[in-house]
Amino acid sequence: MFGPQIRRVDLENQSELRIKVQRTSPLRLRLLDGKAEIFGYELPHEAWITFPPLMTFAVFTWYGATIEIDGTIENEYISCETPMANYLEVHNSLLVQRHRVTCSTRDSVSSQGPRIVIVGDTDSGKSTLAKMLLNWAAKDGWKPTFVDLNIGQSSITIPGTVSATPIKMPVDPVEGFPLDKALVHYFGHANPNVNLRLYRTLVEELARELKEEFSGNSESRASGMVFDTMGFIVREGYTLLLHAIRTFNASLVIVLGQEEKLVNDLKKDLKFKKNLQFLNLEKSAGVFSRSSDFRKTLRNSNIQNYFYGVTNDLNVYTKTVKFTDVQVYQIGDFRESSSTSAHQRGNNPLKIIPVTIDEHLVNKVLAISYTKQPHQIISSIVAGFVCIKNVDIVEERITYISPSAAELPSKTLIMGTLTWHVT
């Protein structure tokens, strides 16, 4: 059955339909004729794809296509002016580098594929370009690793995380990145200023883990890495950018947008780093600007997607646990109402602090650490997340929701400032 709002859209070669799904209802779309892609993911013919509320994306075609849309859209328009040819040129140059590494006679461990760090201001299209480069590489048979350092609007899992995942096949534009092989560290905050030292430490831990993983996997090593970063490019944000570029030994820094000062500053501060190239690309005019309130809405929506699924197709389980069966910790001393970091307040930003279990935990999103030893919390990845819905002081029981029916895989829980209010 088709709804009354179904319509067809014809796209000319090298044009794209830019769409912003409305807040209250999903949108269905399918490819009828020709070839088209979203974030570098080639759309299947005649298959309806449902896009959730708030999602923004563009349907691009190289040679022309006809698509069909079912539903109302908050914002849409067609544009023939896109940077896609330039983005594809970058992809082709990365392919050459990957093949060169594969054919190299150098020591296999020291020979590495491209490591691309994408930087730019907020709403410059960093995540979109990252997805394109990853999907195009996967389509050509490579298995690059996506590294997500953007704690404000994380793409792999919930906000407040520093994570990485291997990409073995093009990523579905709705379902998103695979979680089964992901390495996830919980920062616990949407703003790095809450604990700058912890953010840098988690980046270093992730780099160490990936280096160890690549040492025994020549295919992943040759395929390289693509990094998404925060749109925080001044003051402390700029310092964190430099730290990430050095820590992961980047080979290419792509700066999106008219950011001449940023490009010049990076070149100056990284002039002694060997084999590092810089590329300044125009950002797509189709990037939608997002207000601070809208970003908060997106973060809440991303957390909801973790528990319920992007299309609300997952079961959520309400479970209880005794106070004595779990231990809750926080990393560093932070105050949610304060804009100053733990270091600025004179506290140890990496101190593991036990948290008293009481009503202030309600609506907190807690990470489940794999470690059984509190002193190993920072160096350990997390198994997943739960959200606290009630704390019964009299009965000494915590009620939480989880996307899994299984018991908690660990008693060690990590608290930050991240909350989720179930809608």
**How far out from the chain centre does Cα 60 lie?**
22
CATH of the domain at 144: 3.40.50.300
Q: Which domain holds residue 403?
A: 315-336+347-419
Residues 276 and 352 in one domain: no
Q: Is 125 annotated as a binding residue?
A: yes
CA-CA-CA-CA torsion sign (79, 85, 86, 87): positive
What is the pLDDT, as a whole number, of residue 338?
44
Residue 152 lies in a domain: yes
What is the pLDDT, as a whole number, of residue 5?
75
Of 27, 58, 79, the residue that ends a domain is 79
What is the pLDDT, as a whole number, of residue 122?
78
Residues 354 and 277 in one domain: no
Question: Which of 382, 340, 347 has its CA nearest to residue 162?
Answer: 382
Residues 65 and 110 in one domain: no
Classify the phi-psi angles of 396: left when phi > 0, otherwise alpha if psi is within -120 to 50, otherwise beta: left
Residues 130 and 59 in one domain: no
- 148 by Cβ neighbours in 10 Å (0-12 / 13-18 / 19+) ranks as buried
Model pLDDT for residues 278-325, shown as the tens digit of each residue: 999 988 776 767 777 877 888 888 999 999 988 878 889 999 999 999
Q: Is 205 annotated as a binding residue?
A: no
Of 32, 56, 79, the residue that ends a domain is 79
DSSP state of 345: T
CATH of the domain at 328: 2.40.30.330
Q: Is 313 annotated as a binding residue?
A: no
Q: Is 124 annotated as a binding residue?
A: yes
Q: Is 152 annotated as a binding residue?
A: no
Residues 39 and 151 in one domain: no
Q: How many domains does the chain have?
A: 3
* The residue type at 406: A
Count Cα neighbours of 239 within 13 Å in the Cβ-side half-sphere: 8
Residues 63 and 91 in one domain: no
- For the chain, list residues with pLDDT below 50: 1-2, 109, 337-340, 342-344
Residues 163 and 204 in one domain: yes
What is the pLDDT, as a whole number, of residue 423?
59
What is the pLDDT, as a whole number, of residue 346?
53
What is the pLDDT, as a whole number, of residue 1?
39
What is the pLDDT, as a whole number, of residue 331?
97
**How far out from the chain centre does Cα 88 lie?**
22
- The residues facing 365 across adjacent strands are 387
Residues 130 and 72 in one domain: no
Residues 123 and 52 in one domain: no
DSSP 3-state of 294: helix
Residue 299 lies in a domain: no
Residues 131 and 96 in one domain: yes
Contacts of residue 72, Cβ cutoff 8 Å, sequence gap at least 6: 5, 22, 25, 27
Residue 382 lies in a domain: yes
Please state at what angle helix 126-139 crosses helix 84-103, rounded to 10 degrees: 50
Q: Is 128 annotated as a binding residue?
A: yes
Residues 29 and 116 in one domain: no
**How far out from the chain centre does Cα 187 lie?**
13
What is the pLDDT, as a whole number, of residue 103?
84
Question: Which of 216, 210, 215, 225 has its CA nearest to residue 145?
Answer: 225
What is the pLDDT, as a whole number, of residue 258?
79
Contacts of residue 217, Cβ cutoff 8 Å, sequence gap at least 6: none
Residue 133 lies in a domain: yes
Q: Is 126 annotated as a binding residue?
A: yes
Question: Which of 76, 33, 67, 72 has its CA nearest to residue 49?
Answer: 67
Of 281, 300, 324, the residue that ends a domain is 281
Q: Widest CA span of the chain, in angstroms?
A: 68
Residues 126 and 153 in one domain: yes
